[in-house]
Amino acid sequence: MKKSKTLGNILTSILVLSILIGILIYMDSNGGGIDKDFEMLKTEKLEIIADIDKYALYMSSTIGMPFRPNLISKDLINKVEYEWSTDYGKFLDSDVGKIEDVGKKITNDGQKVFWNPRMDEVLSIPKVEIKLKVKDKVTKDVISEASIWLMQDKDGVFTVLEP
């Protein structure tokens, strides 16, 4: 009787240990990918990609100058947010089917944003900085950041400056 009780305890311990190992392997396979993507955002150089090099409000058929991040992870779509900001001009949002002026800051999941100069705002120096921060949605910690500069010429044309 004692021998079968000890054998039963050993089998129960093995079963519990197997379940725990299975849970750890499952958690590592799901969470490990997210950690790797976070590391990718921390170690890879975040850049802002301009889809066009020049933009003039009066000559363009687009709603604004389009920008997008170079680092986007589908695995992190619910974990991070992309915060765009500028000191001059405005961002336009067209995701809702209509064009909406969202001001100097917009937060999204990595979609393309459109920047537009403001006709009612005076630009004190001919340079504009567009900033991007990738943040953890829960903690709001900045994971990575980048910026891109635009130069305005005398005719009102904005050109992307090379880094």
The predicted pLDDT at position 91 comes to: 95
- What is the secondary structure of 35-67 as a DSSP string? HHHHHHHHHSPP-EEES-SEE-GGG-SSSSEEE
Q: What pLDDT does 41 receive?
A: 65
Say if residue 28 is in the same domain as residue 84.
no
Of 43, 58, 77, the domain-final residue? 43
Same domain, 6 and 70: no
pLDDT computed for residue 37 by the predictor: 65
Statement: the pTM of the whole predicted model exceeds 0.85: no
Q: Please, how many CA atoms are within 13 Å of residue 105, restricted to the half-sphere of its CB? A: 4
- Distances 80 to 27, 73, 110, 119, 139 between C-alpha atoms, Å: 20, 9, 9, 33, 10
| Total structural domains within the chain | 2
Q: Strand order of the sheet with strand 142-152?
A: 54-55, 158-160, 142-152, 127-136, 80-86, 105-108
Whether residues 79 and 135 share a domain: the answer is: yes
pLDDT of residue 132: 97
Q: Report which secondary-structure segment, H or E, holds 27.
A: helix 2-43
Note whether 21 and 89 are same-domain residues.
no
**Residue written as tokens 């975040």?**
46
User: Which amino acid is residue 79, in one-letter code?
Assistant: K
Q: Which domain holds residue 16?
A: 1-43
At 102, list the tokens: 């969202």
Mean pLDDT by 10 residues, the chain (163 residues): 66 79 63 59 82 87 90 77 94 81 92 88 84 93 93 90 81
Answer yes or no: do 50 and 70 share one domain: yes
pLDDT of 72 reads 72
